[in-house]
A and B are shown apart, each in its own frame.
Chain A
């Protein structure tokens, strides 16, 4: 086999490996995930809102996300969301935590409060979920307790 053919084959194999590792599109990126643990005896409804900004334009409308009940002892995960994706910039504007039984607001975190609670944490880092890749998954934890609800946002 000619040298040039051999090089071409090696390059093609390397490209195929990269494409396979990155499929589906986006999985090549590091991820930042928020894990919310409900350490109370209440059923807690959570909802977060993000705003998307396209380029330097004005933020687009709020979109409520989540919108589910976390049972006592349960947990949910969602994207930390402070990043650019396909030309849009996404940021969490607020997180609302509501007592699912009484429909009363337990805690409201605005964007600054939300990120302040997470950004100083040393995240749990997982580099083993995607073997053969350089992908790092970082997890930030938010633990819901009665004390947490009393702190602000009453």
Chain B
């Protein structure tokens, strides 16, 4: 095989690999697996251009069944801010238990300047893209959500 064809073949193979792995790495959360069984607080980072009022729409569940909706939890996160919240992602062990727990169904974002809805997204583990390591190497907040203009725009 001539060198040009060989190089083309290698490049094609590399592109093919990238094509397969890139979407996976873009959507797979990097929440450490050992934390997925446990409930954990969510860490929000607002890199969008909007100051936001965030409304977390929640259901109360028990024994895997929805008991009913729960009053939304709300908080503000201004552009450029990173905030630790008391909103929780419920771990698999707790979800399976018959202890009543709140599951966040969606997040609705309002523009604080106008009050208009800036976007709404469904909450799945896949939206949390990066673990946040705090002091002493502990993952106090393994679930991090970065709010971008794209996320808001795509949600509209």
What is the interface of chain A, defined by CB distance below 8 A to chain B?
A: 45, 47, 49, 61-64, 67, 96, 98-99, 102-105
Contacts and interface: CB of A to CB of B under 8 A. Distances in A.
A119 B114 CA distance: 32
A104 B112 contact: yes
Nearest to A61: B84
Contacts of A47: 75-76
A55 B134 CA distance: 16
B114 A49 contact: no
B156 interface: no
Given A47-B75, A64-B76, A67-B74, A103 B112 contact: yes
Interface residues of B, number: 19
Given A47-B76, A96-B76, A104 B115 contact: yes
Q: Chain B interface secondary structure, helix, strand, loop or mixed? A: strand
Contacts of A105: 51, 112-113
B51 A49 contact: no
A96 B73 CA distance: 16
B83 A98 contact: no
Interface of B: 43, 51, 53, 73-78, 81-85, 110, 112-115
16 contacts: A45-B53, A61-B84, A62-B81, A62-B82, A62-B83, A62-B84, A64-B77, A64-B84, A67-B73, A67-B75, A96-B76, A98-B53, A99-B115, A103-B53, A104-B112, A105-B51
Given A98-B112, A104-B114, A105-B112, A63 B84 contact: yes
Contacts of A104: 112-115
Given A64-B85, A103-B110, 20 more contacts: A45-B53, A45-B74, A47-B75, A47-B76, A61-B43, A61-B83, A62-B81, A62-B82, A62-B83, A62-B84, A63-B83, A63-B84, A64-B83, A67-B75, A96-B76, A98-B112, A99-B115, A102-B115, A103-B53, A105-B51
